[in-house]
């Protein structure tokens, strides 16, 4: 790329965008972390003046220039994971300290047996580089603050440095990082609200499963839930209930284990649920989606509140049950419109 000069014009879609993100999105440009280094090395200009910061916000009509011939060789921190730029990241918020993204179903968060280079961690390394990810969880889990199961979709947070990673983990421990999930479970859940509090540990009979237990090795787990909508029993099932679950702790498979514990397993759950595909409404993964996340930014103090509509495979299930609906609760009336793609936020009040 020596001697190549890239000239870009900021269009309406990029008005207000960060400089490093704008550069990385351009054809033929390197990763976002590499673009940030180009800014730091003085290779980037805005309207003929050297850019002052990778986080500088662009304005419609700005002319951005990047002299690739001035770039110094990158000295990137190496790690054990191969970057995988082919994994799409659905980023909903990003700054120089953290990322909030919507994880697609089927994507494993970090390497495990059978998953070496096809994980979220590999995608984060490609997007940020090791030198721009928190490594407190280990070099095989760069940026990871909390996990979602492979077949659970939705919002999660990643950290770009150790200090931010620790601060976000502290928010989880202090139960001030608000994580809300939507799940469809088997059967009729009678109460409008409830709480499941138990110890969870790895099952002694099946090492792939977790279980509710009073074993001294078990870790405290607390899940509260609100009922959103109930669906009548059919000829081959006992009905269904749509719930919003609030995690106060983050144990492995927590919601799935707790729902099984109260005899309402998650629809489509291959590990803790029912094997009958008809009762699972045709789903081959659990109906579990991280739909809302809210927290105070650990560096800026800004309140971050993001919501994520149901992906198509889960969203398509609810219309198939519409003629069996027993009505939405007050919570369901507020929340369910937000789960539909393109839905407008209802008026407050």
CA 252 centroid distance within chain: 16
20, 149, 161, 308: the catalytic one is: 149
Q: Report the C-alpha gap between 196 and 210 in whole angstroms.
A: 15
Please name the residue that has the structure tokens 């009336």: 333
Question: Is 149 assigned a catalytic role?
Answer: yes
151, 156, 160, 163 alpha-carbon torsion, rounded to 10°: -120
Q: Where are the alpha helices (DSSP H) in 67-190?
A: 120-128, 162-173
Residue 222 and residue 191 in contact, taking contact as beta carbons nearer than 8 Å: no
Residue 182 and residue 340 in contact, taking contact as beta carbons nearer than 8 Å: no
CA 245 centroid distance within chain: 16
Edge-to-edge strand list for the sheet holding 63-67: 5-9, 63-67, 44-46, 49-50
Closest CA to 164 of 295, 30, 18: 295
Q: Report the C-alpha gap between 168 and 174 in whole angstroms.
A: 10
Q: Report the C-alpha gap between 202 and 207 in whole angstroms.
A: 6
Q: Which are the catalytic amino acids?
A: 149
């Amino acid at each position: 790329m020596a001697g190549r000069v890239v000239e870009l014009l900021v269009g309406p879609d990029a008005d207000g965008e960060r400089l490093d993100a704008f550069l990385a999105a351009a054809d033929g440009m390197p990763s976002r972390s590499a673009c940030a280094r180009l800014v730091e090395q003085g290779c980037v200009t805005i309207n003929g003046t050297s850019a002052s910061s990778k986080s500088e916000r662009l304005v419609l009509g700005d002319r951005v220039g990047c002299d690739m011939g001035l770039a110094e060789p990158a000295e990137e921190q190496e790690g054990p994971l191969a970057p995988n730029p082919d994994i799409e990241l659905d980023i909903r918020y990003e700054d120089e300290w953290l990322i909030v993204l919507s994880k697609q179903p089927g994507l494993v968060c970090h390497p495990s047996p059978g998953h070496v280079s096809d994980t979220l961690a590999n995608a984060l390394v490609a997007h940020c580089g090791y030198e721009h990810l928190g490594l407190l969880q280990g070099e095989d889990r760069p940026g990871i603050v909390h996990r979602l199961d492979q077949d659970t979709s939705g919002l999660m947070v990643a950290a770009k440095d150790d200090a931010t990673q620790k601060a976000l983990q502290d928010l989880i421990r202090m139960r001030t990082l608000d994580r809300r999930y939507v799940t469809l479970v088997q059967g009729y859940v009678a109460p409008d609200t409830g709480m499941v509090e138990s110890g969870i540990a790895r099952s002694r009979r099946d090492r792939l499963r977790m279980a509710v237990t009073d074993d001294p090795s078990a870790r405290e787990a607390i899940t509260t839930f609100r009922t959103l909508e109930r669906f009548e029993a059919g000829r081959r099932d006992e009905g269904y209930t749509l719930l919003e679950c609030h995690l106060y702790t983050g144990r492995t498979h927590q919601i799935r284990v707790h729902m099984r514990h109260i005899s309402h397993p998650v629809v489509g759950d291959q590990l803790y649920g029912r094997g009958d595909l008809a009762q699972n409404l045709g789903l081959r993964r659990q109906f579990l989606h991280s739909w809302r996340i809210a927290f105070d930014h650990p560096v800026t103090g800004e309140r971050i509140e993001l919501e994520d509509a149901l992906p198509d495979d889960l969203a398509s299930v609810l219309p198939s049950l519409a003629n069996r609906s027993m009505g939405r609760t007050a919570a369901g009336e507020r929340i369910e419109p937000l789960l539909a793609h393109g839905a407008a936020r209802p008026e407050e009040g």
